[in-house]
Amino acid sequence: MAALPPLNIPPELLQEFSKYGTPTGFADYVALAVLGGIGATYLSKGWLWDKPDPFHHILFERPQLKNGGKAGSANKETRNIAQKLEETGKNIVVFWGSQSGTAEGFAHRLAREISFRWGQETMTADLSDYDPVTISEIPKAKLAIFLVSTYGEGDPSDNTAEFWSWILKARDVSLSNLRYAAFGLGNTNYKFYNRVVDVIIEGLDKFGAQAIIPVGKANDAEGTTEEDFMSWKDDLFRIFKHKLGFQEAGARYIPSLKVEEDESLEPIDLHHGEPNNREAPKAAAKSSTVRTLSISDSRELFKSSNRHCLHMDVDLTNQPELSYKTGDHLAIWPGNPDVEVERLLDVLGISSRRDIPLVIKALDPATKITIPTPTSAVAIFRYYLEIGACVNRDNICDLAQFAPTPEAKAYLLQFGQDKDVYASFISRTHINLGRLLQLACPDKPWDKLPLSYLVETMPHIRPRYYSISSSSMVSPRKPSITAIVSTAPLPQNPNELIHGVTSNYLLALSQQARSKSHPSGITYHLNGPADALQGGKVFAHIRRSNFKLPTVVNTPLIMVAAGTGIAPFRAFLSERCQFLKIGKDVGQMILFFGCRNPNEDYIYREELEEMQVALGDRLRIVTAFSRLEGTPRQYVQDRVAEFGNDVIRLIDEGGTFYVCGRAGMAREVEKVVGQTMKGAKRWSDDEFNGWSKTIKMMDKWQEDVWG
């Protein structure tokens, strides 16, 4: 490269430049020091600072590739159900789709009984754990059984959603090798009774699958779910014997789990009952993780002395990752009452060893351990198993094999083998496991009854879901719930009460805050496992809901509620009031609310009246009282019929219709609206049904119902 020519700068100009190039004051020296520091810092990069991390590569290593392993071999569970059956040597798979745990419990019971009674290697399978298309690979020599529940408006459970979507959308699938049986759990109070099992078997049959037995269905509205299942199971077992040629063996317990003491473990090693997101909700997108939340306020809403309804505010301040939206649900994880925990420990003869560390191990590779391990007996009975649940007939028969005396065995068999004797017995006595064992043999401990049997057969404690009764716009960090305390007398013994697990747990917490005891004297370990709940806290998580306000705030609303079904509407109205305060034009609203008596259980009455004043003619509240002395009984559906013209007008103006409460009430409300619409518009049944289906698909008719 050629040299650059010299610069010919006049001497007078060089002299002028020198004035600015020489430091003349303190500021100049500071500037030079800063510039020097920047230069030194840059030049020392990689030597004095920002040195390469010698272990950086570990972030990208796959542990399964070490020691000669192969990619994907690190004990990863297969999502191919046919492959899983082959790997574990199973002949039968019992799939379950469950929202509340009933179908799951039936699945485990059925699999166990098939294994030990018919000698068939059987496993249970959560429908969400396997790719739906892989059922097409199950060979004809094996059998698939589907136990699925329906809830809401014919909706599948969260863990059935993927399979449901596949069965509706799949094309060109062959299931000609698949033999199956199916049982559905539903409730005729809902419009779409057992829709999920109907859709599934329709899809299976369409793809060529072969049913070995007609579909079975349970109806919870009649309280016959248990007996419906057992009747269908008996029919299935007749098919096993007479058509499939299975050989029946003597019924005996064959454990798939081992529960053993390990005193080498320290208390710090154990799970004391903390949720640890145990049995975490299946739809991660719908549910948050389980957290410890403080109860910031609680108060009684009923004015009656013998009935209780709680309003509770929980505080999310210390859980910044948690948030909710108006209309969502709050799930509460309860603990069992002390009296039942102590009763079961005593009757098993393990009270003195309640805190000894227990390790739970799977003896069968297809068995999942669903209780955190290691743990202890007291933690299992207090926080992990539903020990207050009524014992079913199947389990009563099973328990007889562990009886400490011949008399106790005969006592159990008389109830377990006779449907009518059992029905009469439980109508007089709420017979949970501890009480049953105590009655059968009050003098000797049931020391032959293994803990593994209880862990395998008893239902696990599930969270209870409550509609959030606050607006996320008004109270973003303090969601509230509204919980009626469930205490029901037995049909043939009004003096004996059945106490709902979670609602009475919450009542005890509320009473503790006032230094009072539970009205029925029930006590709980309210400080929680390892005192994690000390100071009035609960384990809880938030579940997203589709029960939402329209995004356009001037959309008209028709809201129908009975009892605590008013909870989400309190939130809706609170939010509409807030929009009005900031200058938004809100739509017309009608709230239909039903309760027994305005002087006893008209909850949130003062708040509703204040909101009615704030909203003016934009809100009309219509009440229905079913037990008001001196007046005929009225229910919300009666009042909806009375104001039918106003309801139709708001619907025609683009309004959204909401129902919250019991499923039977929701069904009656829909009937009334149907009759009103058909009369006003001269529609046929088909025209109304078509309209009803359309507005539900558009989320213009929404329900949040139960039972």
* Pairwise CA distance, residues 215 & 197, whole Å: 8
Both tokens of 85, joined, read 């059956």
- Residue 44: per-residue pLDDT: 54
Beta bridge mates, 483: 310
Distances (CA, A) of 367 to 13, 111, 129, 375: 91, 11, 13, 18
- Residue 229: per-residue pLDDT: 96
Both tokens of 285, joined, read 């997108």
Phi, psi of 72 (to 5 degrees): 85, 5
Burial code (b: 16+ CB inside 10 Å, e: under 16) for 572-584 equals bbbbbbbbbeeee
- Could you identify the residue written with the tokens 């596949």? 166
- Residue 446: per-residue pLDDT: 97
Both tokens of 646, joined, read 């106003």
- Residue 77 CB contacts under 8 Å (≥ 6 apart), including other chains: 84, 129
What is the SS3 string spanning 117-132?
Answer: HHCCCEEEEEHHHCCH
Q: Which domains does the chain have, with CATH numbers?
A: 81-244 (3.40.50.360), 258-274+337-457 (1.20.990.10), 295-335+463-543 (2.40.30.10), 557-705 (3.40.50.80)
- Residue 692: per-residue pLDDT: 92
- Check if the beta carbon of residue 138 is closer than 8 Å to that of residue 85: yes
HSE of 45, CA atoms in CB hemisphere, 13 A:
4
Phi, psi of 312 (to 5 degrees): -130, 135
- Residue 488: per-residue pLDDT: 83
* Phi/psi-derived region of residue 252, left when phi > 0, alpha when psi is between -120 and 50, beta in every other case: beta
* Pairwise CA distance, residues 656 & 573, whole Å: 14
Mapped onto helix, strand or coil, the DSSP state of residue 325 is coil
DSSP β-ladder status, 92-97 and 122-126: parallel
pLDDT tens, residue by residue, 67-80: 333 333 345 688 99
* Pairwise CA distance, residues 658 & 562, whole Å: 12
- Could you identify the residue written with the tokens 């289906």? 693
What is the SS3 string spanning 506-529?
Answer: HHHHHHHHCCCCCCCCCCCCCCCH
Q: Quick one: which H or E segment has residue 328?
A: none
- Residue 446 CB contacts under 8 Å (≥ 6 apart), including other chains: 347, 348, 349, 402, 403, 404, 437
Both tokens of 706, joined, read 């139960």
Sites in the chain below the pLDDT cut of 50 = 1-5, 7, 13-14, 16-18, 20, 46-74, 278-283
Can you list the positions of beta strands (E) in 75-168?
Answer: 92-97, 122-126, 143-151, 155-156
Both tokens of 176, joined, read 């000609």
- Residue 678: per-residue pLDDT: 95
Distances (CA, A) of 525 to 243, 338, 458, 558: 52, 7, 21, 43
Q: How far, rounded to the nearest angstrom, does the alpha carbon of residue 24 sit from its chain's CA centroid?
A: 76
pTM for the whole structure? 0.83
Q: Quick one: which H or E segment has residue 590?
A: strand 589-595
Burial code (b: 16+ CB inside 10 Å, e: under 16) for 82-104 equals bebbeeeebbbbbbbbbbbbbbb
pLDDT tens, residue by residue, 159-176: 999 999 999 999 989 999
- Residue 17 CB contacts under 8 Å (≥ 6 apart), including other chains: none
* Phi/psi-derived region of residue 65, left when phi > 0, alpha when psi is between -120 and 50, beta in every other case: alpha
Both tokens of 101, joined, read 């745990």
